[in-house]
């Protein structure tokens, strides 16, 4: 299954998430956390990355950052490699520490960026263990949590490499102290009042976070990156006319998934049939996203793009889903 093409451009802002392999811990203690932050600061300077926020949890990390150059991939590769080498050496381990590829969603600036920064900082008090606590207890925990950039926004002398001023400037107040106080209120108020509008916007597109116009722009960039990433084998397959019929691809995919072909046009939350079929139709039938949409009963090619993005962003490395995909590939490659 092809990987999701990365969208990189000068001045891009991203919400990056890195998770431990098989949801395992990537930080055992404060020494681990300290080394990750040390490397984060080091490579942010090397790659001219402006870091707006971070939050380290036990088995994953959130980063909000801006790349002056289109170099997110190089930055993340160096950061993850350096930390993995340290962690494995220290704990006498080997192999992958991180789960698949990191996820990176481009983010529109201003209001979306501000609300994302708030969401990232609230992670420690929205864990299962803290959801049942009182608001007052969660506020205390949030302020005491050492391993996020929250303190940098509220005035404590920590994490000076975090670029807080662009977001603080969005707060009301003539002085920096008043803007920091307003920022604290803005963040802590959301412990009790969930921002449903922001959460809905975050779910609407797997490719990015922003307005409709911003989503259209990122969609165009994603499609351009996808075309650029086509391998010679992909091009040869289409030009030589060796593509399979859409009907045959549907038959194989539905057969392996154990469903009838009528399920293709039926929306089912959490089901992988349509994303897997969309991927197979693109690669084995040579269909465009608009043509795939017609086969699957979707309104637009954008809907297909979202299906593909969801599938590839999952970065599944094992389990039932991967086995089904492999079975489909075996059958279709012999056709």
Which residue's structure tokens are 């930055």?
75
Residues 201 and 318 in one domain: no
Residues 327 and 253 in one domain: yes
* Residue 283 forms part of a structural domain: yes
| Secondary structure letter of residue 124 according to DSSP | G
The CATH number that applies at residue 51 is 3.30.70.1290
Residue 79: CA count within 13 A, CB half-sphere? 27
Residues 43 and 183 in one domain: yes
Q: Which token pair is 5?
A: 């093409």
Nearest Cα to 8, choosing from 122, 104, 116?
A: 104
Q: Would you place residue 304 in the very low, low, confident or very high pLDDT band (cuts 50, 70, 90)?
A: confident
More confident residue, 37 or 276: 37
More confident residue, 37 or 217: 37
The model's pTM: 0.70
> CA-to-CA distance for 315 and 211, rounded, in angstroms?
26
> CA-to-CA distance for 26 and 2, rounded, in angstroms?
27
Name the least confident of 76-90, 158-172, 245-259, 320-334.
320-334
Residue 328: CA count within 13 A, CB half-sphere? 27
Helix axes 72-91, 30-46, angle to 10 degrees: 150
pLDDT at position 1: 44
Structurally, how many domains does the chain consist of?
2
* Residue 222 forms part of a structural domain: no
CA angle 119, 78, 314 (to 5 degrees): 50
Q: Which token pair is 328?
A: 């489909």
> CA-to-CA distance for 101 and 112, rounded, in angstroms?
24
Q: Residue 323: what are its φ and ψ, rounded to 5°?
A: -60, -40
> CA-to-CA distance for 36 and 50, rounded, in angstroms?
17
The H or E element that residue 63 is part of is strand 60-67
pLDDT at position 82: 94
The CATH number that applies at residue 303 is 1.10.1750.10
Residues 51 and 167 in one domain: yes
Residues 117 and 260 in one domain: no
> CA-to-CA distance for 123 and 319, rounded, in angstroms?
28
> CA-to-CA distance for 55 and 63, rounded, in angstroms?
7
Nearest Cα to 292, choosing from 265, 311, 322, 252?
A: 265
Q: Residue 266: what are its φ and ψ, rounded to 5°?
A: -105, 125
pLDDT at position 240: 34
Name the least confident of 33-47, 106-120, 217-231.
217-231
> CA-to-CA distance for 293 and 120, rounded, in angstroms?
35
Length of the chain in residues, anyone? Answer: 335
Dihedral of alpha carbons 126, 131, 134, 137, sign: negative
The H or E element that residue 103 is part of is strand 103-106
Segments forming the whole domain that contains residue 264: 243-333
């Amino acid at each position: 299954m092809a990987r999701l093409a990365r969208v990189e451009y000068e001045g891009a802002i991203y919400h990056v998430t890195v998770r431990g392999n098989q949801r395992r811990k990537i930080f055992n203690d404060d020494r681990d956390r300290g080394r990750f932050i040390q490397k984060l600061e080091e490579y942010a300077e090397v790659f001219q990355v402006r870091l707006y926020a971070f939050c380290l949890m036990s088995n994953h990390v959130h980063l909000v950052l801006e790349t002056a150059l289109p170099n997110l991939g190089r930055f993340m590769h160096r950061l993850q490699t350096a930390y993995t080498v340290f962690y494995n050496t220290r704990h006498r381990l080997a192999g992958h520490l991180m789960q698949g590829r990191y996820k990176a969603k481009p983010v529109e600036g201003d209001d979306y960026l501000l609300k994302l920064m708030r969401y990232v900082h609230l992670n420690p008090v929205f864990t299962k263990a803290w959801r049942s606590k009182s608001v007052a207890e969660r506020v205390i925990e949030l302020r005491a949590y050492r391993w996020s950039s929250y303190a940098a926004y509220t005035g404590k002398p920590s994490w000076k490499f975090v670029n807080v001023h662009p977001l603080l400037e969005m707060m009301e107040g003539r002085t920096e102290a008043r803007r920091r106080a307003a920022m604290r209120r803005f963040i802590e108020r959301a412990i009790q009042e969930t921002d449903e509008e922001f959460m809905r916007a975050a779910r609407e597109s797997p490719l990015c976070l922003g307005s409709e116009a911003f989503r259209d722009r990122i969609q165009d960039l994603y499609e351009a990156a996808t075309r650029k990433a086509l391998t010679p084998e992909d091009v040869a397959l289409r030009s030589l006319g060796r593509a399979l019929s859409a009907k045959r691809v549907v038959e194989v995919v539905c057969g392996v998934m154990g469903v009838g072909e009528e399920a293709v046009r039926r929306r089912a939350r959490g089901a992988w049939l349509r994303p897997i079929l969309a991927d197979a139709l693109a690669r084995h039938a040579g269909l465009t996203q608009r043509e795939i949409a017609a086969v699957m009963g979707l309104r637009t090619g954008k809907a297909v793009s979202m299906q593909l993005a969801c599938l590839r962003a999952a970065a599944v490395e094992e389990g039932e889903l991967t086995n089904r995909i492999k079975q489909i590939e075996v059958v279709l490659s012999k056709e």
